[in-house]
Amino acid sequence: MKNLFYFLGSLAVALAAAFLVHHWLSSNDDPGYVLLGFGGWSLETSMVVFAVGLVFTFFALYVFFRFLGWLMRLPGQLKEDRKAIKFNRSQEALIAGLVDSAAGNWESAEKVLIKHASNSGAPLLHYLTAARAAQSRGAIDKRDEYLQKAADQSGGSDLAVGLTQAELHLSANQFDQAIETLTKLNSIDPTHGSVLKLLHQTYQHIGDWEGLLKLIPALHKNKILMEAEVKLLETETFSRLLKQAAATNEESRIQTVWESIPLHMQNVRDIFNIYFAAMINAGAGAKIEELLIKKVSEHWSDVLVEIFASIENSNAANQLITAERWLLSYPDNAVLLRALGKICIRNQDTEKAMKYLSRSLDSEPTVAAYQMLGDLFFGMDDKDKASKCYKRGLELAASEVISNAEAISK
């Protein structure tokens, strides 16, 4: 409309100028004269008529060429219009797909997203959302197809595609595929927070504690976990590695894992408890006895006392002396008294063993103490007292089972 106004305005100005010239010439009794000749043809007219004709010819040619240009641009314009329509539809489809996904209409979301993905300005979002919808309805093959199309359309968004792929693999319990994808992403950006978090989760799921151990410094350095969370993770990781080594019952492997643990972590109670127990089970209790005694002296622990009592070596007398020295500080400790009874049995001092076990039961009745005391009476051929001890032990065990069951049911 604006161009038409300019056109008509220019034509009016040109015509007005022509008539003004005509008026000026007429006032001087000289209307002007124009003669055009071409071959055997000639045209004779006044200046005004020639000027008006020239103006109309110019504007006619202007209109013709503008129209011709419009016709030439028309196919391209129609193509752009169709493209714009498809683009708008794809945007509407993306919104509809996201809404359907949020509502759990996976099949509908997948269908509308894929139908308009090729015309979208953000095809990556279409394919990634469709992949999530496909997995949610159990179509794993379709999910992988959409993820591949998303990778083809990534255009520098490899991390976004890879993270979605890893998340989907992880939620589908495809841990090997998740690890493979996340390892590649980690090589691209070793500091990416989401990649490190997913690696952390995946390693924990599959129990790859060695992989997690290598990851902990990155989790700490990039502040993915808080200081307290890092310490908890370190404790869990080293504990699991020690338990794996303990399962082999190989002293050398247990020792290798222990020596790889930083000193500040070796002083964590849960970790050195596992180490001591593993070494004793592997038949190397004598090698850790001195260190165990030192730990008990530094940080009293009923667990360590029980572990100490499990060490079998050729010098049970020295074990008894050490444990009785602790008794001076903890005279009524039921665990220590039971441990002393166990050591006395190993030392073949039945009378002293019975005394310590009786004191332990007076302090705190336990199934283990009743069992050991019953065994002593049975060995002395006092079957009545042995039966009483076994009976009380069974009653106590049954009571503990009932208490645990009631606690679980609450």
* Residue of 53, 52, 67, 92 lying closest to 4 (CA atoms): 67
Residue 41 parent element (H or E) = strand 41-45
373 has pLDDT over 70: yes
pTM: 0.65
- The CATH fold of domain 314-402: 1.25.40
| Rounded Cα distance, 321 and 327, in Å | 10
C-beta separation of 390 from 374 below 8 A? yes
* For range 69-81, the mean pLDDT: 69
Per the CB < 8 A criterion, the answer to whether 116 and 89 are in contact is yes
Give 3-state DSSP helix, strand, coil % of the chain, rounded to 5: 80, 0, 20
Residue with tokens 């004709």: 53
pLDDT in tens, 280-321: 999 888 889 899 999 998 888 899 999 999 888 767 788 899
In degrees and rounded to multiples of 5, residue 34 shows phi and psi of: -130, 130
What pLDDT does 276 receive? 92
Cβ pair 98, 130 in contact under 8 A: no
- Round the average pLDDT of the chain to a whole number and report it: 81
Any idea which of 27-31, 168-172, 238-242 has the lowest mean pLDDT?
27-31
pLDDT, position 95:
62
**Averaged pLDDT, 148-166:** 76
Nearest to 322 by CA among 274, 354, 275, 311: 311
